Amino acid sequence: MTRRIALVIEYDGTGYAGFQRQADAPSIQEELENAIQSLTAVRATIRGAGRTDAGVHALGQVAAFDTQSILPVERIAAGLNHYLGEQIAVRAAYDVAPSFDPRRHAKSRVYRYRLLEGRAPFPLRRNVTYRVTRRLDADLMRLAAMDLVGQHDFRAFSGPQPQGRSFTRRMIRADVVRNDDELAVELEANAFLPQQVRRTAGALVDVGLGRMTVSAFRQMMESGAQGAAETVLPARGLTLQEVRYAGFPPESHATTTHDETYEPGSP
Amino acid sequence: MTRRIALVIEYDGTGYAGFQRQADAPSIQEELENAIQSLTAVRATIRGAGRTDAGVHALGQVAAFDTQSILPVERIAAGLNHYLGEQIAVRAAYDVAPSFDPRRHAKSRVYRYRLLEGRAPFPLRRNVTYRVTRRLDADLMRLAAMDLVGQHDFRAFSGPQPQGRSFTRRMIRADVVRNDDELAVELEANAFLPQQVRRTAGALVDVGLGRMTVSAFRQMMESGAQGAAETVLPARGLTLQEVRYAGFPPESHATTTHDETYEPGSP
């Protein structure tokens, strides 16, 4: 009998061409599908909640696949981790309804762009942050970010996308938060346009550095010019924190983090 | 005229044989000395506040060297960073008295050992944490750690060291702290014995997992048996956070983090 399994996945996107399978470059999807094949001996196609660009990380990407395996779901998580390399891990696995669609059923996506201020590099966080050499005015950035909240045409913050598609998205939260010595741009929206987070963070950095006023930020947003926010910050600072659903993760069936019922072949 | 320059250094110790120069393996010291030679055209020997083992990281290692260079100290920091690889950075540089000795003048060292709880790996923090698969009782760990504070013979937590050396050290702070979803063992002492932090963290993890009682921890500490704390946790979870001095960093002469008077040859 076929079951649908949903995975919550963490990955270090460094060196990957992104989540989605590519013909000629390593992808997160390919690694996951290879691990599923190793574990179940059957090829499966996984469907992710969304693409992430080359080099972008995830703490909580969600993806689903169908399998006839009768392994308990917690063994599927452990088994996939046994076959996955160190840059990707299944943080949790769940049995879900056969109709569960990680992309279409997602209520929102939460992204974080991590910024550091300093003249010198930060080696221990080099792969997960972007450094600016001057101090950022977080209050101004927060003020500008407030204008993003709500249902808007975000084409000013969009990279290229196929013709005829809507640029309207609903921004649920847009904030700039200090985490110790880091400044994080945190955005939650029903969905995001191509490069939207990296262009938004880039424009907010311009505001924080005094290169752009808050009213110029608003005018750019309202300009109706696709890609008007020209600064696309590097992928390495961006992490897909969470994909939110109604009713997922399910209350039951959880692979609890501290349950030791099974260890795969590794010591 | 010869000046002494002190550096505050951050490094990702992954893949390095430790701070101290080795004949046949890459070290942080060697990379720094190569960068100094590239910048000043003169070979110099740097002296660190202390060795760190292979794979151990630092946020605030301190090292000093002598040079006849007349470059302003902020240009020395920027210039060294220009030549250093991405795993090492000079966070700040200072002109110091010719008598300044980073090792002998240090009042204390602060180390942090970062722990994560979870059945599945955490790819984004794999190089800077150690994961345990069960939940740790932080309160018990904190209770055990309290016994470490004060002047004690710490031979139970020591790896091998040359005969005749003292095992007595003064522990200034020993705590177990939650940082979001991490548990950190934080130790500050005047100085540390070989492997002391990794063995102490290992014994505290044994306490946190219920493998060792708090009184057994105390008995082991008082046993007088060198290396009685047998669990040496992996180097990757350990970071030298800070080296503390009286009068260093100096109030003036600081390379301020946000001063942009100089950018090296890089864009």
In this prediction, residue B251 carries a pLDDT of 77
Nearest CA in chain B to A239: B124
Interchain CB distance below 8 Å, A117 and B257: yes
Render pLDDT for B57-70 as a digit per residue (tens, 0 to 9). Answer: 999 999 999 999 99
Say yes or no to pLDDT of B25 above 60: yes
- Residues 162-181, chain A: which have Cβ within 8 Å of B? none
Using a CB-CB cut-off of 8 Å, the residues of chain B touching A10 are 120-124
Tokens representing A23 are 């013909």
Interchain CB distance below 8 Å, B257 and A118: yes
CA nearest A51: which of A232, A195, A171, A247?
A: A195
Query: Is B181 designated active site?
Result: no
In this prediction, residue B243 carries a pLDDT of 98
Interchain CB distance below 8 Å, B81 and A255: no
**Exposed/middle/buried for residue A155 (C-beta within 10 Å: 0-12, 13-18, 19+):** buried
CA nearest B63: which of B53, B74, B77, B75?
A: B77
Nearest CA of chain B to the CA of A81: how many Å?
Answer: 7
Q: How far apart are CA A102 and CA A66, in angstroms?
A: 13
Render pLDDT for A152-163 as a digit per residue (tens, 0 to 9). Answer: 999 999 999 888
In this prediction, residue A251 carries a pLDDT of 77
Could you give the ipTM of this predicted complex?
Answer: 0.91
Say yes or no to pLDDT of B252 above 70: no
- The values of phi and psi at residue A31, to 5°, are -60, -40
Interchain CB distance below 8 Å, B123 and A239: no
Say yes or no to pLDDT of A257 above 70: no
Tell me, yes or no, if A10 comes closer than 8 A to chain B by beta carbon: yes
Interchain CB distance below 8 Å, A59 and B121: no
In this prediction, residue A1 carries a pLDDT of 84
- Out of B77, B117, B126, the one facing A120 most closely (by C-beta) is B77
Strand stretches in chain A, DSSP E: 3-11, 47-48, 57-67, 88-96, 108-117, 130-132, 150-153, 168-179, 182-189, 238-244
Q: How far apart are the first and last CA of chain A?
A: 32
Query: pLDDT confidence of A252, banded at 50, 70, 90?
Result: low
In this prediction, residue A138 carries a pLDDT of 97
Render pLDDT for A221-233 as a digit per residue (tens, 0 to 9). Answer: 999 899 999 999 9
Query: pLDDT confidence of B254, banded at 50, 70, 90?
Result: very low
Query: pLDDT confidence of B264, banded at 50, 70, 90?
Result: very low
Say yes or no to pLDDT of A258 above 70: no
Question: What's the predicted TM-score (pTM) here?
Answer: 0.91
Render pLDDT for B105-144 as a digit per residue (tens, 0 to 9). Answer: 999 999 999 999 999 999 999 999 999 999 999 999 999 9
CB atoms inside a 10 Å sphere around CB A266: 7
Using a CB-CB cut-off of 8 Å, the residues of chain A touching B116 are none
